[in-house]
Amino acid sequence: MNLPSTPMPSALSPIAEQERIRTLDIVRAVALFGVFLMNVEYFARPLQAPERMIEPGLRGLNHALAWFEYVFMHGKFWTLFAMLFGMGFAVMLGRAEMRGGDFAAPYLRRTAALMAIGLAHGVLVWGGDILHSYAIGACVLLVVLRGRWWWLLLPSLAFLAAQVAWGSSRALFTAMIAFLMFAGAGAFVRERSAAAGTARRFPYSTLLSWTLLLSAIGFGVLWIVSPGFVPLAAMVSSALLGAASFSLRPAGLSRLWRAGASIYLILPLAISATILLGKLQLSTPAQAPPAASAAYAAAEAAAAQAASINASGSYAQNVALRWDYLADMLTSGEIYLLISVVGMFLIGFWFVRAGAIGDVQANRGLFRRMAAFGIPVGIALALSSAAFYTGDDPAKRDQAFLAANLMTVANLALSLGYLGALVLFVHSREKLRLRWLAPAGRMALTNYLTQSVVGTLVFYGYGLGLRMDRIGQLALVIGVFALQVLASRWWMSRFHFGPAEWFWRAATYARWPPLFRHRAPAAAIAAESA
C-alpha cells in the first residue's frame, strides 16, 4: 500500500520545532519511568517464573503498592512506549517524503541496528528485552502498510504445514518471524506500480482478506475440537494482519488507528473467546488437568533453577541463562508481543500522519476525549481484571488467562488516556511544562539500557545481590530515575545525542554524526533555557 498522500506539515505549526521535539521527549521520559517501575519487579525475580499478577503473601503497604502498580502501571507505559516508537517511524518516513530522498536503506539499517542492540541487551544485560520485538515489529509494519497479500498468506500456510509435519510450533515461530522480517525488508526494496487509491475492477484483496479471516475461524473451531492441532493465536494473527493490510489500501488516515487497535486487540479477544468456547464443551474440572499441572510444575522447577543462577551464579552462567530464555521467547512466546507492538506502532503512526502531535492546540478536543474516555474506561477494565483473578493456582489457569487478556484491553485504553492527559498538561500554559524531563526522553534508549544494567547489578548475585520489598523497589526506581534525569540534562548540554542514540543514528545513516556541542554564546544559552 502506498501511504496516505496527506503530507506532514514541514513546520508542524503552530508549535515551534524545538517545542514539538520536547513534547514527544517529555512523554517519552514519563513512559520510561513507568517502564522502569514495571521492570523492577522482573529484575527482582527470575523471568522464567510463571506470571503472577500480584505476588502471594504480600501484606500492608507492599500489597497496596503491588496492587496499584498492577492496576495503574503494569503494561500501560510499555504500551505507550511502543506507540512512541511508531511515532518515530512516522516522523522518519515523513521527513524522507518531504526531501524526496531514499527511505528504504536508512530504515532497514535503523531496524537492523535496533535488532542488534536488542539482542545484545537481551543476552549480555537482561533477558526481558523489548527492543528486538520493536525491530521485528518495524518490519511487520512495512508489510502491513506496503506489503502484498501473499506475504501474509505464506506465514499462515507455514504454521499449518509445520504443525502437521512436526507436531510442534517452535520451528514455526522462528520461520514466521524470519519470513516477516524478510517480507518487511522487501516492502521498500520493491517498487510499487499502483498509486494510492487506484480503483480495482474486482476487489480481489478484499475477498482474500475475508477468506483468510474465515479460515482462521475454521482453524479456531478445529483447535477447540482437537486442541493442539494448530496454534489458534498464530493463525488468527496472520489472518488479521492480512485483513488489516487490505483494509489500509484505500486512502484514509482513520484506517491507520482502526487497524492498529484491531491488531492489538485480536489476540486477547481470540484467546478469551477460545477459552470460553472450550468451556461450553467441557465439564468444569475439580482440579487442573494433568498436562497443565505437569507444565506448571516444570515451569516452577525452571524458575527455581533460574532464581538460583540469578542469586549466586556467575555472569557467564547468567548470560547462558539469558540466551536460552531469549531463544525460547523467539521460538514460542514472541507472537503475542509482536502483534501488540505492531498494533501500537500503527496507532502511533496515525498520531503523526494526522498531525495530532504536530499541532496540539488544534487537536485539544481529541486529547480531551482520549483522557475523558480512556482513563475511566481503562481503570474500570483494570479493576475488573484485578477483581476477577490475581492468583497463581494451576487449577485456575483459564481464569488467569482471562484476567490477563482483560488487562491487555485495559492497557490500550489507559495508555491512550494517559497520553491525552499528559499532552494536555504539558501544553496547559504558554510555556511547556515538565521541560526538565525532555533530556531524559531524548536519551530514552540509553536510559532504558542503563536501567537494565543497574537493575541486574542491584539484584543479581554477580552484583550486589540485594533483596527488596515493593517499598524498596519503588524507592530504587525513583532514585535511579532522578539521577538519570540529572545526568541526561548534563550530558545533553554537552553532546547532541546519548551514547546509544549516537550509535543508532550512525548505523541508520551510515556515517558518524557530530557528537560534541560547540560552545554557544552566553546570550543564546540563556534564551534557550528561558
What does the domain layout of the chain look like in residue ranges? 17-191+200-489+498-513
Q: Could you report the per-residue pLDDT of 297-320, keeping only the tens digit for each?
A: 777 788 888 889 999 999 999 999
Q: How far apart are CA 49 and CA 349, in angstroms?
A: 34
Report if pTM > 0.85.
no
Give the whole-angstrom CA distance, residue 332 versus residue 121: 20
| pLDDT > 50? residue 189 | no
Which stretches of 70-169 are DSSP H helices? 76-99, 104-120, 131-146, 149-166
Write phi, then psi, for 516 (nearest 5 degrees): -80, 140
Residue corresponding to grid cell 481484571: 385
The number of angstroms, rounded, from the C-alpha of 1 to the middle of its chain's C-alpha atoms is 23
pLDDT at 190: 42
How much is the average pLDDT of 366-393? 88
Q: Which of 40-49, 144-153, 219-228, 260-269 has the lowest mean pLDDT?
A: 219-228
Averaged pLDDT, 468-494: 95
Predicted pLDDT at 336? 73
Give me 7's grid cell.
Answer: 503530507
3-class secondary-structure state, position 17: helix
Lowest pLDDT segment from 163-167, 225-229, 383-387, 508-512: 225-229
| Residue 119, pLDDT above cutoff 60 | yes
CA 369 centroid distance within chain: 23
pLDDT band at 416 (very low <50, low <70, confident <90, very high): very high
DSSP code, position 516: B
pLDDT at res. 220: 53
Counting residues of the chain whose pLDDT is more than 90, the rounded percentage is 28
Q: What is the mean pLDDT of the chain?
A: 75
List, for residues 80-115, the tens digit of each pLDDT value.
988 988 888 777 777 776 776 667 778 888 889 999
* Mean pLDDT, rounded, for 158-167: 58
Are 110 and 135 within 8 A, CB to CB? Answer: no
User: Taking a C-beta distance cutoff of 8 angstroms, is the pair 481, 36 a contact?
Assistant: yes
The answer to whether residue 323 scores a pLDDT higher than 80 is yes
Q: Which residues 6+ apart lie within 8 Å of 244 measured at CB?
A: 144, 259, 262, 263, 346
pLDDT digits (tens, 9 = 90+) for 231-290: 444 555 555 555 555 454 544 667 778 778 877 887 787 677 667 765 554 444 444 455
Helix, coil or strand: residue 1: coil
d(CA 438, CA 436) in angstroms, rounded, equals: 6
> Is the CB of residue 56 less than 8 Å from the CB of residue 112?
no
∠ CA 61-63-66, rounded to 5°: 110
Residue 269 CB neighbours (<10 A): 15
Residues 269 and 340: their CA atoms lie apart, in Å, by: 12
pLDDT at 160: 56
Contact 438, 488 (CB under 8 A): no
Per-residue confidence (pLDDT) for residue 503, from 0 to 100: 93
